[in-house]
């Protein structure tokens, strides 16, 4: 039996069987499941399944499997349950039994305890998570092209121009994808969201003058796009309620787009530009003035954000920095969070005699070095407790180094070693030096006071 098939069968059984799964999703590292009856789920059993790196209890039950394998397992679970990946069948979730009422009450309490800021970041993260594969691939190709050019290749050659086209193409039209996903997230038509995105980046804006000032294509960036797409989704739903069904397909989208077009140019784009300037200037000021201490705090506190999955909500911030100043000094600092985890994991691996723990670390280290830290976080440092803190301390030292030397990327992508290809001119070695520093201090802090064998007995 193939590994992914075995994992799917064992996980499905411990989730209470195929009939207990109401919805199924997968992201880069996690299989997200919505059980009908949570009391039937054997959480302790799932955590002990060979190949499972950890479990997170949130709005959905999230089983950490790691990149690559998670999509294969999701497909197998989909085949076992008959649920398509990312489908949600609300009718089947509804359960009026006593147990079902208790489950819904628990779910309601979770929602009440969520802060507005966390809910906001989750909303933003949901817009960008589906775009991650394309952003990572495009960013890496763009970075490699950049390295090849710096190595002496002719930037006017056909081969380099083709690479440039492949790597940077997505970023030129990212606003459309963000508009589509934003409209979906707010309950509108994806195509109208894409049209709202085009309103922000359309080169024709440069030919229009409002109140004595020429409009600027791209002004407001992805923040403006999200405002416009959310607005058109809001309008569409309201207009549809009063438009007769016979003419809905014509009237609703036309009126929605027309109103959104004027509202975007007059209000939403300027507001997006103001918010964008506020964020970018604030962050740049913090990094410039805070220097060492800013890097220390930003990198040292980033991993708790990763634990909640809210770190994807920072994607528009990274993009605004690149659009505004041409590079992103925040990403190298935050990337040290994963590097600190790697150093801590190495320390635990060399110190522990627990074979299961060593096996989990051995599986998580390669992807951790390549910039995906969730397997190490949820499979190793977070369950152990103290190593998670020492990993954050190691990350803080690496982040301080990146801030002091003002390293920055020219695009966004995964952290770890691959991010070196995206570094600004002459900064590859500086960035890698910061990564090594985070490794070393994560290792030292964990070795000295972050781990003892007693901690591993329940793993």
Structure tokens at 61: 């039950």
Collapsing DSSP to helix, strand or coil, 449 comes out as: helix
What is the Cα 225 distance to its own chain's centre? 18
Collapsing DSSP to helix, strand or coil, 17 comes out as: coil
Rounded-to-integer distance, Cα 101 and Cα 294, Å: 47
Which helix (H) or strand (E) segment is 150 a member of?
helix 132-150
| Cβ-defined contacts of 91-98 (< 8 Å, 24+) | 92/22, 92/36, 93/22, 93/23, 93/34, 93/36, 95/36, 95/37
Catalytic residue among 21, 27, 287, 396: 27
**27 tagged catalytic:** yes
What is the Cα 34 distance to its own chain's centre? 20
Query: Crossing angle of helices 336-351/292-300, nearest 10°?
Result: 60
Please, is 361 exposed, middle or buried when counting C-beta atoms within 10 Å of its C-beta (0-12, 13-18, 19+)?
buried
What one-character DSSP code corresponds to residue 409? B
Structure tokens at 146: 């950049």
Q: Helix %, strand %, coil % for the chain, to 5?
A: 75, 5, 20
DSSP per residue, 205-222 = GGG-EETTEE--TTTTHH
Q: Hey, how many other C-beta atoms are within 10 angstroms of the C-beta on 378? A: 26
Q: Hey, how many other C-beta atoms are within 10 angstroms of the C-beta on 72? A: 17
Collapsing DSSP to helix, strand or coil, 96 comes out as: coil
Active-site amino acid positions: 27
């Amino acid at each position: 039996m193939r590994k992914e098939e075995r994992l799917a069968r064992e996980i499905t059984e411990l989730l209470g069987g195929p009939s207990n799964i109401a919805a199924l999703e997968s992201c880069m590292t996690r299989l997200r499941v919505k059980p009908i009856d949570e009391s039937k789920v054997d959480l302790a059993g799932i955590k002990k399944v060979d190949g499972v790196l950890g479990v997170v209890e949130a709005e959905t039950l999230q089983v950490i499997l790691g990149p690559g394998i998670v999509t294969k397992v999701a497909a197998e679970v989909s085949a076992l349950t008959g649920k398509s990946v990312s489908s949600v069948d609300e009718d089947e979730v509804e359960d009026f039994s006593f147990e079902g009422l208790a489950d819904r009450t628990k779910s309601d309490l979770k929602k009440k305890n969520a802060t507005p800021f966390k809910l906001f970041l989750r909303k933003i993260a949901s817009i960008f998570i589906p775009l991650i594969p394309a952003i990572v691939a495009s960013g890496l190709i763009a970075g490699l092209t950049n390295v090849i050019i710096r190595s002496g290749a002719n930037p006017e050659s056909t081969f380099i121009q083709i690479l440039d086209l492949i790597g940077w193409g997505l970023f030129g039209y990212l606003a459309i994808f963000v508009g589509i996903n934003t409209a979906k997230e707010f309950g509108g038509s994806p195509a109208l969201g894409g049209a709202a995105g085009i309103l922000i980046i359309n080169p024709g804006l440069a030919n229009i003058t409002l109140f004595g000032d020429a409009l600027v294509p791209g002004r407001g960036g992805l923040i403006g796009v999200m405002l416009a797409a959310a607005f058109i989704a809001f309008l569409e739903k309201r207009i549809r309620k009063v438009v007769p069904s016979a003419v809905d397909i014509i009237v609703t989208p036309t009126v929605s787009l027309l109103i959104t077009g004027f509202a975007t140019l007059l209000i939403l784009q300027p507001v997006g530009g103001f918010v964008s300037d506020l964020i970018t200037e604030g962050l740049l000021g913090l990094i410039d003035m805070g220097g060492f201490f800013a890097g220390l705090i930003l990198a040292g506190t980033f991993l708790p954000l990763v634990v909640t999955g809210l770190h994807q909500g920072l994607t528009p911030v990274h993009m605004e920095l690149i659009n505004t100043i041409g590079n992103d000094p925040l990403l190298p600092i935050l990337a040290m969070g994963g590097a600190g985890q790697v150093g801590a994991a190495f320390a635990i691996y060399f110190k522990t005699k627990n074979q299961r723990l060593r096996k989990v670390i051995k599986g998580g280290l390669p992807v951790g070095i390549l910039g995906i830290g969730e397997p190490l976080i949820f499979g190793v440092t977070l369950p152990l407790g103290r190593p998670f803190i020492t990993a954050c301390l190691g990350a803080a030292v690496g982040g301080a180094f990146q801030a002091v030397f003002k390293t920055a990327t020219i695009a966004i992508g995964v952290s770890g070693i691959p991010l070196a290809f995206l570094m600004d001119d002459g900064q590859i070695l500086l960035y890698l030096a910061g990564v090594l520093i985070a490794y070393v201090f994560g290792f030292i802090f964990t070795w000295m006071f972050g781990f003892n064998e007693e901690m591993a007995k329940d793993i």
